[in-house]
Structure 1
Amino acid sequence: MTALTEVPARTTTSRGADLRIDGVSKVYQRQVTRKRVEEVPALAPIDLHVPAGGFVSVVGPSGCGKSTLFSIIAGLERPSGGSVRIGGQDTTGKTGLVGFMLQKDMLLPWRTVLDNVVLAAEVCGVARKQAVELARPLLEHYGLGEFADSYPAQLSGGMRQRTALLRTLLFHRDVMLLDEPFAALDAQTREQMQNWLLDIQADFGKTIVFVTHDIDEAVYLSDTIYVLSGRPGRVIDTVPVDLPKPRQQHPDLSSTPEFTAIRARVRALLRDAGRTPAEEPR
C-alpha cells in the first residue's frame, strides 16, 4: 500500500468528521384495528460517538434496530427523539450528507465498473469528466484498473463490493455507513475485503460506522464496538478495541490473548442481550 501522500485524488476527497448521536429513539405506529393504533418501540434513546476518522462497529441481536439507526443517521427517517450531528452541525432528518453502502452492492448491470463508481459523484453534481478523472486513479490504486470497462456480471463478489465501496468513497462525504457489506462473501474474500477497507480507512481517514453480525470482524476492524440490546435497541456496553495498528500487518492477531479477550467480552454481552449474531439471520 502506498503512503498517504501518494494516494490518488486525496486532495479532492473529503476526510472524516465527528459524528454524534444524542438520545436518538424511534417509535413506529402500527394500525391494529380501524380505531386502535399501537406504538412499537424500535430504538430506546441511544448515545453514540465516533470521532473524526474513527471506526466504530455496531453489533446486536436480530431486530434490535441497527438498520433503523442507520436510516436515521442517513436522514432517511426522522427519529422520535434525539439528534444527529456531523462535524458539529445538526443534520437530523437531512439526506445526502453521508455515504451509505448496503449489504447488496446495488450496482447497475448496464453500467461498467467505471460508470458505476462515478455515478454517486455525478448525482452530487460533479461533472462526468471530473468524476472520471477522480475515479480512474482510484481504480488503478485499489486493483480495479483493468476491470474499468467490465460489467458487474463479469465480476467476482469481492470485485463487486470493491466497486460499490469506491462508489461510496467518491460520494465525497465525511461519514460512511457500511451495513454488513461483506456478509455475503466467502471467508477468504471477506478477509481480503476487510484488509482492503482498512487500507482505504488509513488512506482517506473517513469516519466509519459499520454494522456486522460477525464478532471477529467487529473486533478486527474497529476502534470501538457498540453492543445493542434486543428491541427496543439500546446501548448495553461500549467496548474499546485496543489492538495494534495497522491490523493488516499482524496476520495472527485473532489468536492473541488480547483479541480473544475482547471477542469473549462482546460474545458474553450479546448472550445477555438474548442471542449471538450467528444464531439468527438479520
Structure 2
Amino acid sequence: DFLLKDEEEAGFSKVEKRVRTTAGGATGSVRNLRIREDTAKYLFNLDVNSAHYDPKSRSMRADPNPDLPDSEKKFRGDAHLLKEGEVQAWNRLVLHSQLGSTSQESHMQALPSQAEALYKEFKAKKEKVVAKSKTNIEDVYGNAASKAKVDQRLLRGQTERYVEYNRRGQVVKGEEAKVTSRYEEDVFVNNHKSVWGSWWQDGVWGYACCRQTLKNSYCTGLAERNDGNHGLQARAEASAVAGGPEEAGGDGRKML
C-alpha cells in the first residue's frame, strides 16, 4: 500500500491565488503590482535626498520631481491621488456627516445611504439659496454681463482728435478731450460758480467763487471772498456750535 507522510499531505488543503502578469502566471499578492513596462517609482529621481520610497508597500507619497512643470511630470506621488477624481466628493460627504449640520443624525459607516441622501438634500437647498441671492443682487444692481458689450475704444477713451501742446503743456492747436466719468461733473449747487473742493486754505476745503468752507452754504459772492479770515471765522463758529471748551481757535481765547 502507498501511504503519504504528514508533511506531504499538508499541501493539499493550501489554496493560492494566481495573478496574471506579462511574464506568465505567478503566485503572489495583487497589492501595488505594476506592469513591467512601467517605470518604477524610485527611478524617476535617483537623488538620495528625493522623495522617500517604501519598498514594503511600494509607495512613494511625495512628489519625486517637485521642480518640474506639470506638463513634464509622469508621476506626482501617491498622495496626489487623494486630491483628484471622486476623492474630494467623498471627503465632503464624510465631513458633512461628521459635522452633523443636518437635523437628523447620520453615521457614514452605519448608514451610508442615509448620509448620502441627506447630503444631496443639503446641496439642493444650498443651490436654491445661492440662486435666490444672485437674483436679488441682479434686481438691485442689474446684470452687466447680459447687456450688449460696449466698444472697448469708448471705454478706454481713445479718439482720433488731433491736439497739439507746447512745452508748458498748454493746448496750441485743437481741443483737448475731457475724460468722461461715471459721476456727475461741473454741478454747481446753492448758486455757486465753482464746485466743492476747488479752494483750499489752512487745511480747510471750500468753494473758489466765494471761499465758503461750509459745504451746504449759499454763495455770497465777492464780498466774502475779499475777507481773508473767513475760513478762521467758519471754524470758530463751528466750534461754538459744538459747545466745546474752546469757542474760538486752539488757544482758548474767545473771538470778538
Give the TM interval when normalised to the shorter protein. Answer: under 0.3
- Bigger proportion of residues as helix: 1
Q: Which has the higher contact order (CA 8 A, sep 6+)?
A: 1
More strand by proportion, 1 or 2? 1
TM-score (norm 1): 0.17
- Largest Rg, 1 or 2: 2
* TM-score when normalising by structure 2: 0.18
